[in-house]
Amino acid sequence: MRSLVSRRAVALVTTVCAGLALTGSALTPIRATAAPADACPAAESVTPATGRGTLAAEPVRLRTLSADEVRTALAKARFTSALVRYGVELCRLLYRTVDAKGRPTVASGLIVLPRNGDRRPRIVSFTHGTQSYKEDAPSIGRDDFSFAPAMTFGAAGFAAVTPDYLGLGKGPGTHPWMDVPSETTASLDMLRAARAYMARRGMVPQRRVLVTGFSQGASAALGLARALQNGADRWYRLGAVAPISGGYAFRDAEIPALLAGQEIPSKLAVAYTAYLLVSWNRLHHLYDSPDEVFQAPYADKVERLFGGTTPGQEMLAALPDRLYGDPQQPGDQPPLLTARGLAMLEHPTGAFAAALRVADGTCTGWVPHAPIRLYYAAGDEQAVTANTDHCRAAFRASGVNLTPIDLGPHDYEGSRHLGTAVSGTAAIVDWFTHLSA
């Protein structure tokens, strides 16, 4: 997961297993080179709804960069620039998809094309880590960390496609966090929209999609990979899959770590627990009123804090430092959870248990027929290592013998978890390049 706040506040909040980014640092404007004649137009007029994956508006050009300007942008984001071969063009797509209930809606996403004249590009789907603030989405371009992976893939010669997910970026409504089914449909329909956009440019993407994602996006990547393998699209097929630092086992790994208060910092545990309960209550009706699971004064705030319009630092300031605990002394800050809220996490039942089975099913019950790698880092302070252990065991039970790849102790501004997004992206660019050779 990404951080709930700016990457400069990772000591306070980064991610639980998906990649939260509740606030982003503004990208220093970079001088754009002149766009080619066939560049995406800078307009966004919505057209009547038709089928899933069709463009709902004219694509919006965000920027066009030379190779040197890409190196500058990646250096600012603290991603490696050693893999840059080409300049890139970044565009936002608004496309038709379905919401978590299967109803028609629209979503946005980022496409990064290399400026190399390739009319049959290899396509990479990158699904990003957790975010709750709409403006931090990759296609908005305000948070350099959120679009740096797609820019890295694009500059290496791939057509990189990054969905914002439902409810983030220009998408309406709230984001259904850690809902793998809607992450999968949003990702699949973004690939279709990218194909439609590339057709306008006289380009035809190669059919085999190279799938990757970080934190929350790791689960989304596995959901997309399974869908592609199962023939969910008439054009695209699965080429390879390489998730990074996922929260694959909430019930058996992540939630116990949240409650234990040792591997995951307390403030992170509070933020991610609140996000999980609020988001899943919208989807699965876990409780009738927030005060059943959240203490005062947080019960009156949580819906707004995770409604998509609250920047991360503001959200963090409004939440407590403790997840649960004994009654406070007068004047002390109460913890987040009521006794019922704590019991729900300790002993999931009913709709909550059923939702956990879905979220925790990305590694179970299927055998990838394409190359697969799992990336992680020992000592990850958000997506604890037990998540990858459970995923490895699930694949082995299906007959897939995986040895996860430890990316090592490469922290990013104090976060081992965020560091895996940087080192993992570089490793996967290299692997995908060799697979495609």
- Quick: pLDDT tens for 331-357: 688 999 999 999 999 999 999 999 999
In 3D, which of 104, 101, 113 has the Cα closest to residue 46?
A: 104
Residue type for position 227: A
**For residue 43, with 0-12 CB atoms within 10 Å meaning exposed, 13-18 middle and 19 or more buried, which class applies?**
exposed
CA atoms within 13 A on the CB side of 372: 24
Q: What is the DSSP string of 28-43?
A: PP-PPPPPPTTSPPS-
- CATH 3.40.50.1820 is right for the domain spanning 7-249+359-436: yes
At residue 332, the pLDDT reads 80
Query: Starting at the edge strand that comes first in sequence, how are the strands of the sheet with 159-163 ordered?
Result: 60-65, 88-98, 104-114, 159-163, 123-127, 208-214, 237-244, 375-376, 405-406
Q: What is the 3-state secondary structure (H, E, C) of 72-124?
A: HHHHHHCCCCCCCCCCEEEEEEEEEEECCCCCEEEEEEEEEEECCCCCCCCEE
User: What does the alpha-carbon distance between residue 214 and residue 217 come to, in Å, rounded to a whole number?
Assistant: 5
At residue 326, the pLDDT reads 78
Q: Is 259 helix (H, G, I), strand (E, B) or coil?
A: helix
Domain locations in the chain as residue ranges: 7-249+359-436
What's 254's DSSP letter? I
Q: Which structure tokens are listed for 273?
A: 């627990």
Task: Give the chain's residues under pLDDT 70.
Answer: 1-50, 327-331, 437
CA 119 to chain centre: 28
Task: For residue 121, say if its preceding peptide bond is cis, omega within 30 degrees of 0.
Answer: no
At residue 390, the pLDDT reads 98
Contact 250, 275 (CB under 8 A): no
At residue 329, the pLDDT reads 64
Q: Which structure tokens are listed for 28?
A: 């220093």
At residue 344, the pLDDT reads 98
Question: Could you tell me the end-to-end alpha-carbon distance of the chain, in angstroms, rounded to an integer?
Answer: 31
Contact 421, 16 (CB under 8 A): no
At residue 68, the pLDDT reads 98
378: left (phi over 0), alpha (psi -120 to 50) or beta: beta
At residue 21, the pLDDT reads 36
